[in-house]
Amino acid sequence: MPESESSQSLFATVLASTVHDMKNSLSLLGNQLDTIITELEENDHTRDCVAGIRYESSRINLSMMQLLSLYKIDNGQFKVQISEVEVADFIEDCVASHAPMADSKGISIEIDCEDSLIWFFDPDLVGIAINNVIGNSIRYTRSRLAVSVRVIDRKLAITIEDDGDGYPAPMIEDPEHFLQNINYSTGSTGLGLFFSATVARYHQKGEASGHISLGNQGTLCGGSFNIYLP
């Protein structure tokens, strides 16, 4: 192997290891911040500040997990671990992690999912995708978010809607190719959408595979994110 390729391989390995360690540290930090938030009074300004810190640390942690997963994909190490999931509990857990920040901004999050619904997918990977979308929606919505789950054409359809300004047209037209939609002025790279599309695509059943779609003017008249899992 040429020296340059060996150096690149070593750098990638060290980077992946560093990302993994940082991800673990951020998870511990998030747990400690959650404990602090529960001990503060609801009307305490400090609670809102801590909730903001918790939100930003969560965003960084999700980005780290996405980068680590994409590294594994690039090195042929990426695997989907399918398990039986109680979907309502799964969605409630995703929403609960964002509750402090949503409360501090006066944003309500509604859930519409049958309690008895069971599906088979990778809860860790899909959880990263869903949490990323909810987190971004909290940044851009005005006052409401809605998370709904349906079974459509033999696929589990998870929809996240907000009452914000919606997605830019280029993202709606081609949400999977995030490199074309990088906006440095807003900090939007589309990495979360690319990751969500990748996770969905790796969920396969027979000839069917998952996918994502975006839209505007949904039930809340804002952006609408959808992920479909066979």
How confident is the model at residue 186, as a pLDDT? 47
The answer to whether 223 touches 137, Cβ cutoff 8 Å, is yes
Tokens 């008249």: give the residue.
221
The per-residue pLDDT for range 60-100, each reduced to its tens digit, is 877 777 777 777 777 777 789 999 999 999 999 999 988 88
Dist CA 65 CA 184 (whole Å): 21
Burial class of residue 73 (count of CB atoms within 10 Å of its CB; 0-12, 13-18, 19+):
middle
pTM of the model: 0.77
Average pLDDT over residues 203-227: 93
What are the tens digits of pLDDT across the range 116-169? 999 999 999 999 999 999 998 998 899 999 999 999 999 999 999 999 999 888
Confidence (pLDDT) at 145: 96
Residue 161 · residue 223 · CB < 8 Å? yes
Distance between CA atoms of 227 and 38, rounded to whole angstroms? 32
- List the one residue out of 139, 143, 224 whose CA is nearest residue 187: 139
Mean pLDDT of the chain: 83
- With a cut of 50, say whether residue 55 has pLDDT above it: yes
DSSP state, residue 7: H
Between these two residues, 13 and 29, which has the higher pLDDT value? 29
Q: What is the pLDDT of residue 33?
A: 75
Least Cα distance to 35 among 85, 100, 88, 84 occurs for: 100
